[in-house]
Structure 1
Amino acid sequence: MFEGRKLLIATQHGKEKIIAPVLEKEFGVTCIVNQEFDTDSLGTFSGEMERKNDVITTLRKKCLSALQYYQCDLVIASEGSFGAHPSVFFIPANEEHLMLLDLENNLEIVANVLSTSTNFNGTYINSEEELIEFSSTAQFPSHGLILKSNETNFSKCYKGITNKEELKLKFNEILNSFGKVFVETDMRACYNPTRMKVIEQTTYQLVEKIKNKCPLCKTPGFEIKEVTRGLPCNLCNSPTQSVLSVNYHCKKCLHKETKLFPNTKQYEDPMYCDYCNP
């Protein structure tokens, strides 16, 4: 379905270095990189441009907007978000989404990965000692930093800093003018190798989704849409929160299929049972 076709990667932040080699090898596409559409117009991590839509809507807009500049009908786009982990609130997390949009075959496939592997952080500081401490924790200079006069005010904002001399120079410039500095990790992929690795993981997950074809119509992206919990406890046989079955759906022919025991076990350990281990 994809072999020999052009695949547009809608990015301005170097993600093609991770995405292109994987997809060219797996599917025989020829990747080209967006040079025209400003992907930052849909939102920036540093806050100048707020992301107004949910992740999937933003991805779809990014794909379609980038395609307007190219004679191409196959595109992929990435979108990341950062914040507290949804279940372990004191740990920062990075969630990455990748969307493959194929206009020729009316196909949309999305993969996502939630990872605690991130240096995401930001705080106010007012001394070089605090700056050095923050930069060390943030894995600077291999990971870029952003300096701002205020977390939400951009009268002074320097991005993509990866040089110690520049970091101190810009820090003292803002400090002398405003009395404090907001320092944060630059989460753009080209300045954040840790995030790049999560995007790479998401790319491989997308590959697996594409390879999983509908058993009836052979359309790629036969994916899990519903999860049923209730795997019985091995001791008391009560239902637990572990997954009992998953339902696969095909977007094209709407075929559905249920798979029992997707994690290859028919009973759960009592330690995960609300009755045996309340």
Structure 2
Amino acid sequence: MSSCDNDLVDDVVNDDVVNRAGQRPRNGSYAGAEIAMGTMHGKELQVAPAFAAELGARVVAPAGINTDQFGTFTGETPRKLAPREAAAAKARLAMRVAAVPYGVASEASYNTWFGMLAMHEEILVFIDDIRGIQVVEGENTPGAPGAPILVGGGDAAVCAAQGFGFPRQGAAVKASVKERVQVFGKGITDAATLIEVVSAAAAAADDHQAWVEPDLRAHHNPSRRDVLAGLAGRLARRLATPCPECGCPGYGKVATRDGLPCQGCGGPTSLIAADVHGCPACPYHHTIARVVARAEPRYCPQCNP
């Protein structure tokens, strides 16, 4: 389903909330609130505008926190938590340092589907300790800045890095030294530094070669910043949406239901037929059918046993 279709579904649900619960209280529940963001990579710059516009809230990133303790893209610190748990841990770290009851943080993963299609998964977790709720929004986006490239020297490294958008997209450099991967530099955004770091890495490497790869952290990753900004808008709009039953903020999509009927035989398929919207505080939920008539027979287990 396209992002336009998701927006359409959200609009339908929001209209349902307005009709049942009255005027949606923009700048209501979190107006004037300070929300601590668990980041040391400038992600508050992507999140703050939407939270200010939709909620009247201020997003701040406390100085001096170390979110790298929860894992790094370049592997110096392994990731031991699931993405949602890691994002929540970052948010709570920021909340403790800022001494506020509200926090937000993100976590990203880059993977491949079936070993071919690169995928970027980003989630934002919002924590409200006043109401005792967590609200999560996520996005799966096809594409990644680029794959690691093995090079033998600095000049080749610059050409390789330009292939993934360098210098606007930052670069990282790694090499295998004594059969262990070592990070020689990251956040590299100029050719002279890249040549210098790659030359040092290749000289120290077991095979006299170095890996040049995109720095996937948000402050050096333009495509990720774009995804974060869009996701922040969705989360902020959701936090501006009250539950029709209890009025708690954060009403929105919490699950999906498959079973879209086959256009050939009418039987259920594995494709999504509806979205389930719910409240983070009470059991109320509402199912919204997706605006898709029928599934093609190729997705049907009965037509394709």
Give TM-score, length-normalised by structure 1.
0.89
Secondary structure in 2 matching 1:149: strand
User: Can you give the 5+ residue segments of structure 2 that lack an aligned partner in the other structure?
Assistant: 1-28
Alignment partner of 2:58 out of 30, 33, 49: 30
Where in structure 2 are the equivalents of 1:185-264 lying within 5 Å?
A: 185-259=214-288, 261=289, 263-264=290-291
Partners of 1:268 and 1:154 lie apart in 2 by 47
Partners of 2:63 and 2:111 lie apart in 1 by 29
Secondary structure in 1 matching 2:253: strand
Cα–Cα, structure 1 residues 155 and 246, in superposed 2: closer, same or farther, change >3 Å? closer
Letter in 1 for 2:126: L
- Range with greater deviation from structure 2 (60-69 or 126-135): 126-135
Does the CA contact (< 8 Å) of 1:120 and 1:187 recur in 2?
no
**Cα deviation code 1:243-268 (max 9, x no counterpart):** 23333332312123333x2x223433
Alignment partner of 1:159 out of 162, 186, 197: 186
Letter in 2 for 1:240: T
**Cα deviation code 1:217-244 (max 9, x no counterpart):** 1212223344322221233222222223
Identity of aligned residues (%): 26
**Cα deviation code 1:17-42 (max 9, x no counterpart):** 11111111110012222212211111
Letter in 1 for 2:103: V
Does the CA contact (< 8 Å) of 2:253 and 2:277 recur in 1?
yes
Letter in 1 for 2:188: I
Partner residue, 2:111: 83
Number of equivalences? 274
Cα–Cα, structure 1 residues 156 and 39, in superposed 2: closer, same or farther, change >3 Å? closer
Partners of 2:181 and 2:302 lie apart in 1 by 53
Cα–Cα, structure 1 residues 171 and 213, in superposed 2: closer, same or farther, change >3 Å? same
Partner residue, 1:124: 150
Give the CA deviation at 1:129.
5.5
Where in structure 2 are the equivalents of 1:172-191 lying within 5 Å?
A: 172-178=199-205, 179-191=208-220
Cα–Cα, structure 1 residues 89 and 204, in superposed 2: closer, same or farther, change >3 Å? farther
Alignment partner of 2:172 out of 141, 146, 158: 146
Secondary structure in 1 matching 2:176: coil
- Range with greater deviation from structure 2 (10-19 or 119-128): 119-128
Give TM-score, length-normalised by structure 2.
0.82
User: Can you give the 5+ residue segments of structure 1 that lack an aligned partner in the other structure?
Assistant: none
Cα RMSD between the aligned structures? 2.2
